[in-house]
Amino acid sequence: SKNDSNTEKGAVIHTVPFKCCVIPNFISDEDILSRLETELLALKFFEKSNDLYKFHQSDDLKKSSKSHIALFRDALYRDFRLWLQEITGYSDLTDQVDMSCAKYEHTDVLLCHDDELEGRRIAYIFYLVPKDWTANDGEHGQPDQITRSLLPQWNSLVFFEVTPTSYHQVSEVLSLNKTRLSISGWFHGDNIDRPEPYQGPHPKAETACDLEDEVLLEWINVMYLDQGVVKDIRTRFKDDSEIQLQEFLKEKRYQEVLEALGDKSIEWTWKGPANKRHFKEADLKSVPAIVQQLAKVMQSQPMFKFLRTLTGLELAAVPLSDEDESSDEDDDKGKNSNTEKKHVPCCHGRIRHWSHGCYTLVHDTDPEGAEFALDVIIYIGGKGWKSDYGGYTTYLTSGEDEELLTVHPQENSLALVYRDKETVRFVKHVNHSSHFDQGISDRDNDFCDFCFIYFE
């Protein structure tokens, strides 16, 4: 809008949602630009992929001896830095070089984040995208959350102050044949005080509700109620702390729930904030009766008993049947059984809808990560879903990049994962391929899940 932007000597300054400056035609010599682009594309790039991003990045360019990269770097951290100090008043900006090159190609993305790391004062991005880049090559994200969108333009430089509220993202590249090439980094200065991170409220957990044990016979594939099968599952779970069971619900019940979740009267709400999550959640009061019934079964005493029988976790005072008592005694899982029990088993859950653009991110203030817990997910829909689409749940050790486990969406499957306080998880961004993959004709481009978390 005119009120929060102004143009000065060709540069455009935005003040909402935070101060940001766009300088078009940053380098006047087209020959230098072309040679710089050639040198950048000749660099070795490394794939970068985690909860927050997927793209390719070069090594740090602070020591690059390529002539035009060095020319750009030195101009940026010498003359341009001095100019920045003058116009921003940040006299503490140092000549520390923090700069790399990134390539974003089809389905690559960098989700919502704030750049807050010690010493980072001003972030910058220099774009070398194709001159015919349009909004159709990279969408602007979710319109209910995006306050301002800046379309990448050839030879433009964008910079902004790094603050606790300078949230930004690189929208997913939708073009199959164009590359979003850029140089980005930070100008460093003195550390400044940051507010304590916001700790979200803990979802309210409920104790088990009363239902007859026979309710499981109405819902669960009879195979998973067989003593021999249960014993095998329990052994595998004891060894691996995870398992995924196929064709979990009875086919008739599954089809009823699948159809009901397509009901137009269901009230779906986008869940945020965008720097932590972005998916739709159903209002349980608005869902059809069959969906409410499954949600109630998930919260019922028979389900708590069933999960105890499958996992050995103390989720109920007694297992599902007397035959399981002996295996209970044999289990010394060492999870929480050696501590005096102080808590009544409980759970909380939600019904989520996953489609293009949905994700969750790892964050330090996740209240659900502070306890030992059993994650239980039933996948509804997602026929023909490929891992390339995203939407899978990855578990990591906190502070480390190595995957412990990845659970892939598979229609009518039940995933059980026991995690400790050092385990974090995220749902990978669902990308553009989920809608436009031409390889499979008979498939879904979205899915739902019943995601419940159980505590001993």
Give the pLDDT band of residue 141 (cuts 50, 70, 90).
very low
Question: Tell me, what's the pLDDT at 148?
Answer: 64
> In the predicted model, is pLDDT for residue 2 greater than 50?
no
> In the predicted model, is pLDDT for residue 145 greater than 60?
no
Query: For 288-312, what is each residue's pLDDT tens digit?
Result: 999 999 999 999 999 999 999 999 9
Q: Which helix (H) or strand (E) holds 118?
A: none
Please list the helix, strand and coil fractions of the chain in percent, rounded to the nearest 5, in that order.
25, 30, 45
Residue 399 falls in which region: left (phi positive, over 0), alpha (psi -120 to 50) or beta:
left
> In the predicted model, is pLDDT for residue 142 greater than 50?
no
Query: For 51-63, what is each residue's pLDDT tens digit?
Result: 999 999 999 999 9
Query: For 25-50, what is each residue's pLDDT tens digit?
Result: 999 999 999 999 999 999 999 999 99
Lowest-pLDDT range of 26-30, 263-267, 329-333: 329-333
- The predicted model gives 232-243 an average pLDDT of 97
Question: Tell me, what's the pLDDT at 290?
Answer: 98
Average pLDDT over the chain, rounded to an integer: 89
Question: Tell me, what's the pLDDT at 20?
Answer: 87
Question: Tell me, what's the pLDDT at 121?
Answer: 92
CB-facing half-sphere around the CA of 81: CA atoms within 13 A: 21
Query: For 269-281, what is each residue's pLDDT tens digit?
Result: 999 989 999 999 9
- Of all residues in the chain, the percent with pLDDT exceeding 70 is 88
Q: Phi/psi of residue 284, each to 5°?
A: -60, -25
Query: For 101-125, what is each residue's pLDDT tens digit?
Result: 999 999 999 999 887 777 899 999 9
- The predicted model gives 320-327 an average pLDDT of 58
> In the predicted model, is pLDDT for residue 334 greater than 80?
no
Residue that wins the pLDDT comparison between 416 and 340:
416
- Cα–Cα distance between 132 and 425 in angstroms, integer? 38
> In the predicted model, is pLDDT for residue 146 greater than 80?
no
Question: Tell me, what's the pLDDT at 61?
Answer: 97
- Cα–Cα distance between 289 and 294 in angstroms, integer? 9
Query: For 347-406, what is each residue's pLDDT tens digit?
Result: 999 999 999 999 999 987 776 766 899 999 999 999 999 999 999 999 999 888 889 999
Give the pLDDT band of residue 159 (cuts 50, 70, 90).
very high
Cis status of the peptide bond prior to 152, with omega within 30 of 0: no
- Of all residues in the chain, the percent with pLDDT exceeding 90 is 70
Question: Tell me, what's the pLDDT at 165?
Answer: 77
Closest Cα partner for 273 from 170, 343, 366? 366
Question: Tell me, what's the pLDDT at 140?
Answer: 44
* pTM across the whole model: 0.88
- The predicted model gives 409-430 an average pLDDT of 97
Angstrom distances, CA of residue 111 to CA of 71, 172, 416: 31, 9, 28
Residue that wins the pLDDT comparison between 16 and 332:
16
Question: Tell me, what's the pLDDT at 231?
Answer: 96
> In the predicted model, is pLDDT for residue 217 greater than 80?
yes
Question: Tell me, what's the pLDDT at 335?
Answer: 47
Residue that wins the pLDDT comparison between 299 and 148:
299
Question: Tell me, what's the pLDDT at 333?
Answer: 45
Closest Cα partner for 43 from 204, 189, 175, 179? 179
> In the predicted model, is pLDDT for residue 322 greater than 70?
no
